[in-house]
Structure 1
Amino acid sequence: MQSQFTPTKANLIKARENLSFSRGGYALLDKKRTVLIREAMTLVDRANEIQKKVKNQFEDAYSTLEIANITLGVNTVSDVAMSIPKQEEFQILHRSVMGVEIPMVIYEKDENKNPNYSFFRTNSALDNAVNTLENLKYLVYELAEIENAVYLISLEIKKTVKRANALEKIQIPRYEETVKYISEVLEEKEREDFFRLKKVKSKKQENS
């Protein structure tokens, strides 16, 4: 690194500016890393909570669905299931977390939604299974959003850590070494110039 810089005052100023810029960049990356890690940990905790809810609701849904299959018959339950239209009442928007674009699943939950099938060949077990799976759908939306966010943030954390380490362990020490080297060379040169000037003055005084 030293060989790339001629020990001049201009290069010393430039090296100091680069050092200051690198330290500032490291401070920003370190802050970004801290915020992203905190955000990821919060999301992971939330994902674990939702996964437990999803597991419980799946168990409840399959339990009531099993009762419906026994009481109504598998063919009847299958026919009702096929008659329910596929619905995707959601939008994908984005939010930014320290420059990371995180997709958000936006939906409006309809609490008073009427069934899409006739009550004529069905029973309460099937109704419960349908309602449970309907509510489960919203949990899956939320879980998908959170798990995707954790994945994207994790990738950004790795990139940020790599850049921060490069600055901390390579770039900053190099500029510190360069500033030290140029400063020492210039100081030595100033001392030599000072003694040289002192000798010249001394000779002039002797001659006079």
Structure 2
Amino acid sequence: MAERMNVNPTRMMLTSLKKRLKTATRGHKLMKDKRDELMKNFLELARENGRLRQEVEKSLAKVYKNFTVASAIMSQEVMEESLMFPKQGVILDVGNKNIMSVDVPVFTFKTTAEDPTNIFPYGFARTSGELDNAISELADLFPMLLDLAAKEKETALLAAELEKTRRRVNALEYVMIPQLEMTIKYITMKLDENERGNQTRLMKVKDMMLKEAIEEKREHDEEAIERFAE
């Protein structure tokens, strides 16, 4: 439970706390909206990420299978010699995009060779078709791997931002706002109590002044009667 703030119960402090409460309430609503939108984006991204991961794992299984068959058919020396000098390379460029104030990575690439299909670093006389299929499938899989890597990182960043936003919402909802409301209530009660005390004192002073006025009038009347009697 939130505790009352230790402040002086003055009208100036009351006005200041009411402004802070208004700002905190507005901020709480904005943070809740952000949290809900982040959760929506996170869930959609998690589903897309899961689907893409399944596709990548399925394609990688085919690549590994073809490599295994090729390794069984071809000698180790021929396999190593065929793959020793890659013919194709890639240049990776890392950008970013902003999602709900979170910068997430965007990966793009281009091949070093002019022809992106020129991927086989060997002649076809001594190699098996399974090796050709494995390299071809791996080349086709590379963009999906980059996309999956970007989505994995995006998911992690959104999850971190979601958790940070959730903590802020909870701090506002369960600590700051109740604390401000409790302190405002306390100051209001104190000011009302002081005002009632002031009114009571004023009434007492008024009664005393009225009593003194009555006494003075009575004394004045008595003096007037005595003078009249003489």
TM-score range, shorter chain: 0.7 to 0.9
**Deviation for aligned residue 1:148:** 1.1
Q: Between Structure 1 and Structure 2, how many residues are aligned?
A: 208
Using the size of structure 1 for normalisation, the TM-score is 0.85
Give the conservation status (yes or no) of the 8 Å contact 2:120–2:135. no
Give the conservation status (yes or no) of the 8 Å contact 1:68–1:123. yes
CA deviation map 1:116-159 (0-9, x unaligned): 42334334322211111112222211111111111122122222
Q: Does 1:64 align with 2:66?
A: yes
- Opposite residue 27 of structure 1, the aligned amino acid is K
Using the size of structure 2 for normalisation, the TM-score is 0.77
Provide the secondary structure at the position in 1 that maps to 2:118: coil
1:185 is matched with which residue? Answer: 190
Gaps of 5+ in 1: none
1:105 is matched with which residue? Answer: 107
Provide the secondary structure at the position in 2 that maps to 1:95: strand
Pair 1:128–1:165, CA change in 2 (3 A)? same
**Deviation for aligned residue 1:176:** 0.2
Q: Quick one: distance in 2 between partners of 1:170 and 1:3?
A: 11
> For 2:77, which of 67, 75, 78 is the aligned residue?
75
1:43 is matched with which residue? Answer: 45
Greater relative contact order: 1 or 2 (C-alpha under 8 angstroms, separation 6 or more)? 1
- Opposite residue 20 of structure 1, the aligned amino acid is K
Q: Does 1:14 align with 2:19?
A: no
Give the conservation status (yes or no) of the 8 Å contact 1:83–1:116. no
1:132 is matched with which residue? Answer: 137
**Deviation for aligned residue 1:88:** 3.2
Identity of paired residues, percent? Answer: 26
1:173 is matched with which residue? Answer: 178
Give the conservation status (yes or no) of the 8 Å contact 2:18–2:184. yes
CA deviation map 1:145-180 (0-9, x unaligned): 111111122122222222221221111111001111
Gaps of 5+ in 2: 215-230
- Opposite residue 121 of structure 1, the aligned amino acid is R
1:31 is matched with which residue? Answer: 33
CA deviation map 1:61-113 (0-9, x unaligned): 12222333344433322222222146233211111222222111123589951
